[in-house]
Structure 1
Amino acid sequence: MLEQLSDLVKQYGNEAVVNNSSVPNELNEGVMDEASTSIFSGLQKIISDGGADQIGQLFQGDNAGSASNPVVKQLTDQLSGNLGEKFGLSSDAASGVAGGLIPKVLGSLIGKAKNPNDKSFEVSDIVNSLSGGQGGSSIMDAIQKYGGQFGLDQNNDGKVDMSDAMAAVNKKGGIGGFLGKLFGR
């Protein structure tokens, strides 16, 4: 996933980094590499700190590209600090780069993951990559918490559990269909 994330950073990095006079040209590649790494490690940290709900909420609506989203803000602040520390960018320059990249990259990442016609990012691959392959329990926790809101209580017992997951998988076209319904596809 890091390679795919790097591709998104490069896609949006022209305006925020390459054409930015506050970033010396010799730092362009390093700054974009740092952005990719910061986004990935920041998302991993959120999950490891128990923030699976925050990551799950990125998939709801169109808020993944909003600077007011708490995850976007946290990652923007982290990248801004890293750019100042590692590359000596001024606070304004680092904030400008981070603010120009993070919302666009996350918005695109989540948009691609939610698009059933775009197979470049799959929700399950993102979760597994960020959780080190241990995403199952945090996904089930998020399903427990939010599943009823999305019609996932398949047996109408008032809770979303493994039996509902299995029923949804069998009824909705496999795990992809189930995750698609969960994340609004």
Structure 2
Amino acid sequence: MFEQLTQLVQQFGDDAVVKNSAIPNEHNEGVINEAGNSIFSGLQKIASEDGGKQLTTLFQGKSIDSSNPVVQQLTQQLSGSLGEKFGLSNDTSSSVAGSMIPKILNSLVNKAKDPNDNSFQVSDIINAVTGNSSQASGIMDTISKYGMQFGLDQNADGKVDTADVLEVAKSNGGIGGFIGKLFNRK
């Protein structure tokens, strides 16, 4: 998962970092690497602090912008880190973080929601940021709880589980159909 996140950071770092005259060229690679590390560690911190509620909300959202609490927290963390490690001004650090974070998270979430894109899976992302701990199962439980609210309990047994996945898979085009339904994609 970290490799895929790094690819997204590099993709969106071109405009925000490489083409940014306020960032000395010798810092471009370091700034981009710091962005990836900061996002990953920030997601880990968010997952550990609130039991994954914000991450669950993030993956269920339609669009991620600067008003999203996860974006705000990650932007603040990256901005501070860039100023501290590379001596960038507050304006430059905030601009870079504010430009990159929403784009990266939007791309990450959209790829995880896309049943035709196997490069990211929600469970893989959650396992990566929680370190495969019991916390991952708690986050998946939260997703299951919200899945109940979205009508994903196909067999009316009071929980969203493998049996429901199989039922949706039969009628909606496989596991991708289930994930698509979970994230309101048909």
CA distance in 2, matches of 1:184, 1:149: 12
Alignment of 1:89-168 (within 5 A): 89-134=88-133, 135-144=136-145, 146-156=146-156, 159-160=158-159, 164-168=160-164
Q: Which aligned pairs between 1:48-87 and structure 2 lie closer than 5 A? A: 48-64=48-64, 66-87=65-86
CA displacement, residues 90-148 of structure 1 (integer Å, 9 cap, x when unaligned): 1001001101100111111111111111111111211111111121222113322x222
5+ residue gaps, structure 2, are: none
What is the alpha-carbon distance in structure 2 between the residues aligned to residue 179 and residue 139 of structure 1? 13
Q: Distance between the aligned counterparts of 2:127 and 2:138, measured in 1?
A: 11
Tell whether the 8 Å contact from 2:115 to 2:177 is kept in structure 1 after alignment: no
Cα distance in 1 for partners of 2:111, 2:154 equals 27
Structure 1 contact 147–153 (Cα < 8 Å) conserved: yes
Aligned residue type for 1:4: Q
**Contact map agreement 1:84 1:94 (CA 8 A) in 2:** yes
Q: Structure 1 residue 179: deviation in Å?
A: 4.1
Unaligned runs of 5+ in 1: none
Amino acid at match of 1:125: D
Partner amino acid, structure 1, of 2:2? L
Q: Which residue of 2 aligns with 1:33?
A: 33
Q: Is the 8 A contact 1:9 1:36 kept in 2?
A: yes
What amino acid does structure 2 have at the position aligned with 1:139? M
* One-letter amino acid of the counterpart of residue 14, structure 2: N
